[in-house]
């Protein structure tokens, strides 16, 4: 890679590290899911199960194969886009009379749920990102003022509260005492667009309050760190106003850390929606994953976890790409 441009070389290294990380993540996912307490076969067959029926049902599900063979088969199929079939849709097999399987594919279960999760994340991001950037930049501009202290105190208060607590507070005040929004977000594929937005307001607001607090503080810290740079001091000595210093001098150099902040919080919106979806019974990937863990539906849990992992790694990779492109030292190599 010595003859490649530094940007291309660095990008290839980042992509390679992302692929390696994803491989280890798949190994952790498969190992962790298979260590879940309980047994799907025994729970389905119940107390009337026999050793023979358990053996036949395990063979039908492919659970009779060694651990490493099941992992290789699952990983190979996942690379090809096949996440397997759900256990919960299969008919239990008794004795030597196997019944026809009615199991659905994991991909068909994930597709509508993934759309719902992405819709909620996009709805939150549209509100949270501009608001957090505005609050972070203005707080840095008016550092140590009453406005800055008020914004910081509000952010710290929000950060200190877990998502489910924020969700229940919003339900009490906006859905129970004042019935502005429904407490349950029962959206379906046939729900009209504006009705979907209305039903998703409370979960989106919950995620917004949490992510704005994080992004605002990290944006503020990045801007303040840049404001102490020598070239900013020189701009101030030239008589340039604070607003112009931040917009023309600080912000162009702050896009790299801000891009990382946004990508990190977008990854959180996709991965960290589990609790919020459960509280509001929102039919997303997080809710599906929790239901599948309760049912011991291993393929669905693995599929959900893999989607979360791929999304998180991909968003962090995009943040790295933006950081590299906006880094003048790589754009103008010696």
Model pLDDT for residues 148-176, shown as the tens digit of each residue: 888 888 888 888 888 888 888 888 888 88
Distance CA 231, CA 72 (A): 54
**Is pLDDT of 221 > 70?**
yes
- Of the listed ranges 172-186, 206-220, 221-235, 242-256, the least confidently predicted one is 242-256
Comparing 281 with 322, the larger pLDDT belongs to 281
At a CB cut-off of 8 Å and minimum separation 6, what does 11 contact? 321, 324
In the chain the domains, ranked by start, together with CATH numbers, are 109-331 (1.10.3720.10)
- Of all residues in the chain, the percent with pLDDT exceeding 90 is 0
Return the number of other C-beta atoms located less than 10 Å from residue 95's C-beta.
Answer: 9
Question: What are 309-321's pLDDT values in tens digits?
Answer: 888 888 888 877 7
- Of the listed ranges 1-5, 71-75, 180-184, the least confidently predicted one is 1-5
Comparing 10 with 285, the larger pLDDT belongs to 285
Question: Taking all residues of the chain, what is their mean pLDDT, rounded to a whole number?
Answer: 79
- Of the listed ranges 33-42, 108-117, 194-203, 218-227, the least confidently predicted one is 33-42
Distance CA 213, CA 274 (A): 19
Instruction: Give the residue-averaged pLDDT of 6-21.
Output: 80
Instruction: Give the residue-averaged pLDDT of 31-51.
Output: 68
**Buried b vs exposed e over 301-331: b needs ≥16 C-beta within 10 Å?**
bbbbbbbbbbbbbebbbbbbbbbbebbeebe
At a CB cut-off of 8 Å and minimum separation 6, what does 275 contact? 162, 163, 164, 167, 286
Question: What are 105-117's pLDDT values in tens digits?
Answer: 888 888 888 888 8
Closest CA to 213 of 262, 151, 272: 151
Distance CA 13, CA 322 (A): 15
pLDDT at 19: 86
Q: What is the pTM of this model?
A: 0.78
**Is pLDDT of 145 > 70?**
yes
Question: What are 52-104's pLDDT values in tens digits?
Answer: 777 777 777 677 777 778 888 888 888 887 877 777 655 544 434 444 445 67
* Burial status of residue 202 (CB atoms within 10 A of its CB: 0-12, 13-18, 19 or more): buried
pLDDT at 332: 56
């Amino acid at each position: 890679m010595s003859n490649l441009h530094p940007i291309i070389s660095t990008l290839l290294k980042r992509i390679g590290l992302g692929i390696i990380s994803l491989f280890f993540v798949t190994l952790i996912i498969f190992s962790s899911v298979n260590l879940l307490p309980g047994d799907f076969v025994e729970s389905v067959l119940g107390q009337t199960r026999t050793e023979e029926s358990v053996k036949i049902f395990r063979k039908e599900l492919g659970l009779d194969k060694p651990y490493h063979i099941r992992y290789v088969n699952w990983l190979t199929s996942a690379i090809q886009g096949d996440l397997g079939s759900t256990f919960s849709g299969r008919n239990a097999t008794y004795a030597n009379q196997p019944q026809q399987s009615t199991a659905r594919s994991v991909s068909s279960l994930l597709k509508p749920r993934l759309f719902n999760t992405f819709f909620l994340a996009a709805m939150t991001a549209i509100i949270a990102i501009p608001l957090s950037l505005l609050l972070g930049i203005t707080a840095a501009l008016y550092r140590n003022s009453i406005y800055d202290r008020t914004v910081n105190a509000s952010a710290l208060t929000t950060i200190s509260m877990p998502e489910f607590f924020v969700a229940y507070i919003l339900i009490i005040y906006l859905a129970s005492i004042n019935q502005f929004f429904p407490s349950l977000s029962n959206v379906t594929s046939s729900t009209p667009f504006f009705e979907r937005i209305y039903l998703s307001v409370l979960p989106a607001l919950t995620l917004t309050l949490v992510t704005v607090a994080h992004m605002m503080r990290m944006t503020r810290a990045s801007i303040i760190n840049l404001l102490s740079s020598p070239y900013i001091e020189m701009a101030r000595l030239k008589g340039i106003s604070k607003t112009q210093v931040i917009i023309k001098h600080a912000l162009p150099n702050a896009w790299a850390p801000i891009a990382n902040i946004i990508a990190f919080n977008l990854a959180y919106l996709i991965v960290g929606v589990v609790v919020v979806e459960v509280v509001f019974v929102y039919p997303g990937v997080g809710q599906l994953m929790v239901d599948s863990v309760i049912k011991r539906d291993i393929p669905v849990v693995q599929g959900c976890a893999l989607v979360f992992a791929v999304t998180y790694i991909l968003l962090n990779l995009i943040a790295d790409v933006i950081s590299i492109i906006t880094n003048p030292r790589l754009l103008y190599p010696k």
